[in-house]
Structure 1
Amino acid sequence: MMLKNYLLIDDKNLARFDELYRDYKRMYEDPDNCSPKFIIRTPVKLSSTVRERVEDPIAMLKAELDILRSHIEIGDDRVPSVRVQFGTAQVAAAFGCRMHVFENSLPAAGNHVVKSIEDIYKLRKPALDSGWYGKLKEFTEIFKENLPPGVHIQHPDIQSPFNNAYMIRGNDIFLDFYDDADAVGYLLDVVTDYMIELVPYLKNMISDDREWFFDWGAMWKGAARISNCSLHMISPEFYTKHILPRDKKLLKAIGGGRIHYCGTSDKVMDQMFKIDDLAGFDYDANHHNLWDICDKIPKNITLLQWGDPPEAQQSTVERLLKGDWPKKRNIIIEAQAGSIEEGRELLKRLRASVPD
């Protein structure tokens, strides 16, 4: 099954997307004179399971295009992009972790390959095509052969130095901080150095653009997203001492990027906001307030707020609909609607609520 004609984007939408790309660039380059963006998610019934998609690149691409189609019909600010969805453990798999494939959830690490502190020091950087990265390249090539005109490929999920170190070592890493902090540092350095080499390798697979990348339906300054989901299991002090230097090193080396943080600590976020090469940041509305964050985040960092479950966004959306907007303009808001029609109406109301 060939998919080049499966989702046809007409000239009107192609022109709209060209302007949308310029708008996303303004969010970083001219944050005082940009406009907030809205990504409206609606239920999409897919014809394949995650397991089937992980085994079949055409099935995966079809599902990605089905999700994209709903956004085009709504007319929101999601950029036309798709991702090879292999889950969070791709770097860990390169280091030797087994990838566990679920029926209807994305693959995850099935084991931890470093069993002792002594084994940490035996760890070396793997080849760039280790683990599932050979398969990722195969899927990416098939995606590129079948992409409808105007559709781009999002950057693969690479997680972060600490998320990957945690998957490689497992829960013992939390004791390692006390038993042998130098070993944790060695593990983090090996992972960070591998990621620094990995990002341009992956970037070359998907794009010729070295300044911008597609991720989570938006366009971002830099090269990649790092995901710091596991930080809620360590203290802000441990983050500042052990993890922050590696996050800084990684983002600087790859030419900047953004951070995903689904934790609860304002102190951790405050440290992240000091990273010079941070251009974008997203967080969970369950744990943080949009207006509070807008008051302290640097002006040039584009902010994305989402909620899990999506209902967590409701109070924010209701407040925005009343015209109560923060002064910050480079904001992306995810919202949920029950149907395409409801999504169009919500998008119309949100756009009308933005102050001039």
Structure 2
Amino acid sequence: MTNGIDVKSLMKEYERLYGFNETRIEESLERITSALHCMPVDRPPVAQVSQTILFPRHEVFHSKEKNLIFQLANINLTLEHDTDYVPYLDPFEGVTVLSEAFGCRVEVPENGDPFIRKPLVGDDPEDVYRLKKPRMDSEVYKKALETLGYFEKKTGGKIPVGATDPQGPLSVASLIWNNQDFIEACVLHKKEAHHLLGMVTDAFIEFYSIQYDTLKNPAYP
């Protein structure tokens, strides 16, 4: 229990709200899936997501329990509104998760999100050739997978769990390589920029793949 709120009571409320909204959720899921695949829909899906603040922001990144409680509280609050929202757990580890796996030093400021303290590549494009793709047994990957398992275990698999969002390859590359220098390199040092983007893309695919191999009830199969 944290701040008088616990996963068990939040799950009980979720089950009540889900039962009340079950037909709407099924229709919304079909509508969203059809829209995603460019198929005809009766109307564009509209999802309004509500959020509450239960803990200082930085604490969510240091506690799986608080992360889950935060997610469940937001899901329940959102289900009180009539939108196309389809509930799922979003085990967010910060936009830095993949760049951290590459070796970037990450800090979590008080009341803030993780950020890269110092990029691995600066004004020397040749630095990209010293980088190595994260190992599949990376501690960063292990932590992300532990969070996925924790979410599924504590909720009994009743709520689909999404993969933690590693951003996109371009975004990750601009964290690994000092942003301004990386943008310039896309014009002035295309070979090195392409090398980094290729390596990041491979890691991106691998990271997503191991997450979906782990999840028993993934939000986006």
Tell me the equivalent position of 2:93. 86
Tell me the equivalent position of 2:110. 103
Q: Structure 1 runs of 4+ off > 4 angstroms?
A: none
Q: How many residues align?
A: 211
| AA aligned opposite 1:174 | I
Kindly indicate whether the alpha-carbon contact (under 8 Å) linking 1:90 and 1:158 is maintained by their aligned counterparts in 2.
yes
Equivalent residue for 2:206, pick from 177, 197, 207: 197
Q: TM-score, normalised by structure 2?
A: 0.84
Tell me the equivalent position of 2:83. 76
For residue 26 of structure 1, report the CA deviation from its aligned partner.
Answer: 2.3
Q: TM-score, normalised by structure 1?
A: 0.54
| AA aligned opposite 1:9 | E
Tell me the equivalent position of 1:9. 15
Deviations 1:150-178 (CA, angstroms, capped at 9, x unpaired): 42212211211211111111132133234
Gaps of 5+ in 1: 214-222, 224-356
CA distance in 2, matches of 1:178, 1:59: 43
Aligned: 1:165 with 2:165: no
* Higher percent of residues as helix: 2
Tell me the equivalent position of 2:73. 66
CA distance in 1, matches of 2:144, 2:53: 22
| AA aligned opposite 2:147 | F
For residue 106 of structure 1, report the CA deviation from its aligned partner.
Answer: 2.1
For residue 58 of structure 1, report the CA deviation from its aligned partner.
Answer: 0.9
For residue 194 of structure 1, report the CA deviation from its aligned partner.
Answer: 1.5
- With over 3 angstroms needed to count, the CA separation of the structure-2 counterparts of 1:205 and 1:111, relative to structure 1, is farther
- With over 3 angstroms needed to count, the CA separation of the structure-2 counterparts of 1:6 and 1:36, relative to structure 1, is same
Tell me the equivalent position of 1:133. 141
Aligned: 1:184 with 2:193: yes
Deviates more, 1:53-62 or 1:98-107: 98-107
For residue 3 of structure 1, report the CA deviation from its aligned partner.
Answer: 1.4
Any idea what SS the aligned residue of 2:10 has? coil
Gaps of 5+ in 2: none
CA distance in 1, matches of 2:117, 2:22: 41
Tell me the equivalent position of 1:143. 151
CA distance in 1, matches of 2:15, 2:146: 25
Kindly indicate whether the alpha-carbon contact (under 8 Å) linking 1:90 and 1:131 is maintained by their aligned counterparts in 2.
no
Any idea what SS the aligned residue of 2:130 has? coil
For residue 126 of structure 1, report the CA deviation from its aligned partner.
Answer: 1.3
Kindly indicate whether the alpha-carbon contact (under 8 Å) linking 2:159 and 2:217 is maintained by their aligned counterparts in 1.
no
- With over 3 angstroms needed to count, the CA separation of the structure-2 counterparts of 1:105 and 1:207, relative to structure 1, is farther
Kindly indicate whether the alpha-carbon contact (under 8 Å) linking 2:141 and 2:207 is maintained by their aligned counterparts in 1.
no
| AA aligned opposite 2:195 | Y
What is the root-mean-square deviation in Å for CA atoms of aligned residues? 2.3
CA distance in 2, matches of 1:102, 1:117: 29
